[in-house]
């Protein structure tokens, strides 16, 4: 296998997962913007943080995918949603369907990893986005809120860390196939 791990990270969770995967596999982990092309690889793992329905760096990576030979692609998104809650994964999959062409989406393995958030280090833009989201969520009754939405409200303004390196197991299993 000639593989690579790429990551798109804003605040470090995707980077941490990529580095942990690099240690476990021996595959190089590089930021998506450090790679000019992916034609040399037959196995590509992309780990990207989620922001406003987009996977950081994924759109800029797609044109670099090999066109002259078959390749395997796994996209791991990193966000606050609980991957054990199927309802929370539906919007993530829908967003990936918009980011990836139908052909690439159909042949891509998808994994979701939980990340972290620390309001003290968020950019002004991201703080404002979270403030707007929380304003909308507060207008809902508690009965209407999903567990993820309630967690966002409960953690607003704080630091929470859900990073779990044991969650890399599905990626490791995929790499061994």
102-146 residue pLDDT tens: 989 999 999 999 999 999 999 999 999 999 999 999 999 999 998
Which is nearest to 42 in space by CA: 167, 177, 170?
Answer: 177
Residue 122: phi and psi, rounded to 5, are -65, 145
Which pLDDT tens digits describe the chain residue by residue (177 residues)?
A: 899 999 999 999 999 999 999 999 999 999 999 999 999 999 999 999 998 889 999 999 999 999 888 899 999 999 998 999 888 899 999 999 999 999 899 999 999 999 999 999 999 999 999 999 999 999 999 999 988 889 899 999 999 999 999 999 999 999 999
| Residues in contact with 69: Cβ distance below 8 Å, sequence separation at least 6, in sequence order | 39, 42
Report pTM.
0.92
- The CA-to-CA distance between both ends of the chain, in Å, stands at 10
Q: How far is CA 64 from CA 10, 37, 54, 111, in A?
A: 21, 5, 18, 21
**Alpha-carbon gap, residue 102 to 157, rounded angstroms:** 38
């Amino acid at each position: 296998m000639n593989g690579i791990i790429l990551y798109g990270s804003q605040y470090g969770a995707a980077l941490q997962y990529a580095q942990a995967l690099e240690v476990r596999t021996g595959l190089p982990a590089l930021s998506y913007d450090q790679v000019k092309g992916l034609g040399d690889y037959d196995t590509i793992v992309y780990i990207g943080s989620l922001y406003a329905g987009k996977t950081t760096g994924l759109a800029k990576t797609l044109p670099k995918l090999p066109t002259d030979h078959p390749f395997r692609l796994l996209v791991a998104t990193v966000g606050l949603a609980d991957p054990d809650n199927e309802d929370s994964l539906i919007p993530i999959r829908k967003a990936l369907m918009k980011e990836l062409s139908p052909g690439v989406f159909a042949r891509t393995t998808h994994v979701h990893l939980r990340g972290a958030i620390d309001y003290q280090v968020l950019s002004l833009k991201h703080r404002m986005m979270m403030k707007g989201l929380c304003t909308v969520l507060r207008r809902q009754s508690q009965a209407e809120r999903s567990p993820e939405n309630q967690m966002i409200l409960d953690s607003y303004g704080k630091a929470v860390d859900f990073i779990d390196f044991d969650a890399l197991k599905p990626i490791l299993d995929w790499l061994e196939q």
